[in-house]
Amino acid sequence: MSNDTTNLVYPYAEHPAHGGTLQIAAGVYWLTMPLEGSLDHINLYLLEDNDGWYVVDTGWNDARTMDLWQQIFASALNNKPVKGVICTHMHPDHTGNALAITDIYQCDLYMTQAEYYQARSFSSMVTQVGSNWHFENFYHRAGMTSKALEQMQQSWTSRKEAGFSMPQMPPGYRRLRDGDNLKIGGSNWQIIVGSGHSPEHACLYNATLGIMISGDQILPVITSNVSIHPSEPEANPLHDWMVSHDKFMSTPADTLILPAHNLPFYGVRERLRDLVNHHEDRMLAIEEHCLTPCVSTELLPVLFKRKLDGRQVMMALGEAIAHIHLLMARNRLARELRADGRYYYRSIDPDLKRRSHSEDHDLPDDTPILV
């Protein structure tokens, strides 16, 4: 059993070339921007209105992406301006050029409230990452050795020295709420909010066209990162993620999903069901592992197959702890802070033996980790 969903249908074999667009439906265009590393690319979308365009997500904040945007602005907009920028959520591959594009066209940014303010706070927070007691306590309790912690801090320092920063955001925005409708090009795009990968992630659903722009909320291949960070160490985002999956299960089965990574696909319900089952399977594997009490870092090989570098360890560990916290909320794991300053987790469900199938688990995940 793996977390691949085998029966999805991909109507497009490849991504549009950088700098070009591909029409998906009347007034809906797909483009791809480059990303560094294993993630490789992000899909962005253009929605045509009578008097201008909406941009959905904006790509990484670098010169290469902005050059490609300039090409697209010059060639693909039929001499109409961009009239709005919609960011599905606050991650930097989605918000990277929101400020630049809204400045060029003096147009509005549309985001949900939690995403907008978190994006703004992250753009000032990055200088603090890796160098405070919140950070150190969090990773010490998770079982990280001081050597590994040092490596992680070094990887942050070198990223900061290389000029990495979270994108600056426009100073104002227009708020999107769950259930809002945006009229664009004569048809209706309904905002459907999910949570877990980020706090208030907006998807755009068009019932007339049978299309959903899903951001990172629904991806066909990659398992979206659902993670706990030192900024909210007791959070339970996997709970929100599972609730959101139940909510999105009511998406009509024949909807074409336009994701932010991988290719557009049909089969949304199969994908959601597989992801729910995958996380349930991961949690069960953790419970089986915690029959002998252990710390979070010991669970990484249960969840991930690939070798993890400093920053990936941070994401992977955050994800392991997200699974742990949902198990704690379900009264299946107990946590104990021991004298060594580490959290130890122990399985406490007397029924675990009946549910166990330790010989038949999903393989550890080997897809890229999202930012």
Q: Using CB under 5 A, list all residues that contact Zn ion.
A: 91, 216
Which CB, 260 or 326, lies closer to Zn ion?
Answer: 260
At closest approach, how far in Å is the CB of 371 from Zn ion? 6
Which CB, 66 or 222, lies closer to Zn ion?
Answer: 222
Closest CA to 114 of 82, 146, 89: 89
Which CB, 118 or 296, lies closer to Zn ion?
Answer: 118
Q: How many residues does the chain have?
A: 371
Which CB, 3 or 225, lies closer to Zn ion?
Answer: 225
Which CB, 115 or 216, lies closer to Zn ion?
Answer: 216
Question: What SS3 class is residue 145?
Answer: coil
At closest approach, how far in Å is the CB of 90 from Zn ion? 8
Amino acid identity, position 339: A
For 32, the enclosing helix (H) or strand (E) is strand 28-34
User: Which residue bears the tokens 């899903």?
Assistant: 214
At closest approach, how far in Å is the CB of 199 from Zn ion? 11
Per DSSP, the residues of 211-272 read: EEEEETTS-SSS-------TTSTT--HHHHHHHHHHHHTTS-TTPEEEESSS--EE-HHHHH
Which CB, 8 or 369, lies closer to Zn ion?
Answer: 369
Which CB, 48 or 216, lies closer to Zn ion?
Answer: 216
Q: What are phi and psi of 43, to 5 degrees?
A: -90, 130
State the CB neighbour count (10 A cutoff) for residue 55. 29
Q: Are 267 and 315 in contact (CB under 8 A)?
A: no
User: Which residue bears the tokens 């459907």?
Assistant: 192
Using CA atoms, how far residue 125 sits from 231, 250, 333, in Å, is 10, 37, 32
At closest approach, how far in Å is the CB of 70 from Zn ion? 25
Question: What SS3 class is residue 152?
Answer: helix
At closest approach, how far in Å is the CB of 88 from Zn ion? 8
At closest approach, how far in Å is the CB of 96 from Zn ion? 12
At closest approach, how far in Å is the CB of 350 from Zn ion? 38
At closest approach, how far in Å is the CB of 58 from Zn ion? 13
At closest approach, how far in Å is the CB of 200 from Zn ion? 12
Rounded Cα distance between 72 and 20, Å, is 7
Per DSSP, the residues of 176-223 read: E-TT-EEEETTEEEEEEEE-SSSTTEEEEEETTTTEEEEETTS-SSS-
Residue 242 tokens, joined: 């599972």
At closest approach, how far in Å is the CB of 217 from Zn ion? 9
At residue 243's C-alpha, the angle toward residues 350 and 329, to 5°, is 35
Question: What SS3 class is residue 238?
Answer: helix
Residues 6+ apart with CB under 8 A from 122: 90, 166
Which CB, 39 or 82, lies closer to Zn ion?
Answer: 39
- Evaluated on CA atoms 334, 338, 343, 345, the torsion sign reads negative
Which CB, 216 or 365, lies closer to Zn ion?
Answer: 216
Which CB, 144 or 228, lies closer to Zn ion?
Answer: 228
